[in-house]
Amino acid sequence: MKPVARINQRIDYALDNESIERTGKKKKSKKKATKPPRSADEARLIIDELYERNPLLGLTASMSALTGLRYSDTSWLKFSDFIDSHGNWVHSFDLCQQKTYNMRCSKEDVDKDLAYKDSLVRVYVNDSIKEIVEECRYLSSSDEFLFANSRSSIKQDGILIPRPMSIQSANWHHAKVSNKLKLDFPLGCHSWRKYFAKKLIKKGITIEKIRDLLGQSSLQSTNHYLSTFDEELAPVISEMDLFE
């Protein structure tokens, strides 16, 4: 089984023009890291605003918050991921993470089958997720993809192909909501993956399990990831010991 081909690719970095002029080389500029909502009430308020701007985007954000998936993976989820060929809900499913897979495949002499296997993350289906899937039946412009947006569709060979909102547009809507609500922290699509992680650690889930649920490869990556987005969690993470 191969990963689904993506029509619109995720762009993580912008060019540093000053660096190009100075060195003649392209340099990746650091993005200002997004942060998660500080509370459930704030998360609900943000998602309500996103939903008002674009219902499918509000649902995509909700799905990311419930699964911990990146926007590049959440936005391309299929109805068949959640419901089997007999019409029954699945308890969980494995998903190949686009960014992780592409990073592994960028190395020379890579075993793509192994890269695919190592890039899998397990997604667990609960009642809240089921509600999102059911609502998407009425809102999606596709019978295949949950979050296909009619305004984002493209034509290929005279055929209209439905696709989800691009990461650039989605982050633009997040910025608009942030300005409206006068939020004092960077908000973006990735905020919901971080919100998922934040909720887990608040519930006392171990860092090992958070690593697995995020589909990360090492505890060091998870440790750094969690300590960067919340001042309240940073001391807790920094004092964690693997064998305590």
Q: pLDDT (tens digit, 9 = 90+) per residue, 86-119?
A: 999 999 999 999 988 998 888 888 889 998 998 8
Q: How many CA atoms lie within 13 A of 178 on its CB side?
A: 18
Mention every residue, 6+ apart, whose C-beta is less than 8 A from residue 102: none
Question: What pLDDT does 20 receive?
Answer: 47
Question: What pLDDT does 13 receive?
Answer: 37
Residues of the chain with pLDDT under 50: 1, 7-20, 242, 244
Q: Where are the domains of the chain?
A: 33-238
The class of domain 33-238 in CATH terms is mainly alpha
Q: Is 96 helix (H, G, I), strand (E, B) or coil?
A: strand
Helix%, strand%, coil% for the chain, nearest 5: 50, 10, 40
Mention every residue, 6+ apart, whose C-beta is less than 8 A from residue 215: 68, 97, 100, 119, 120, 121
Question: What pLDDT does 31 receive?
Answer: 65
Question: What pLDDT does 206 receive?
Answer: 84
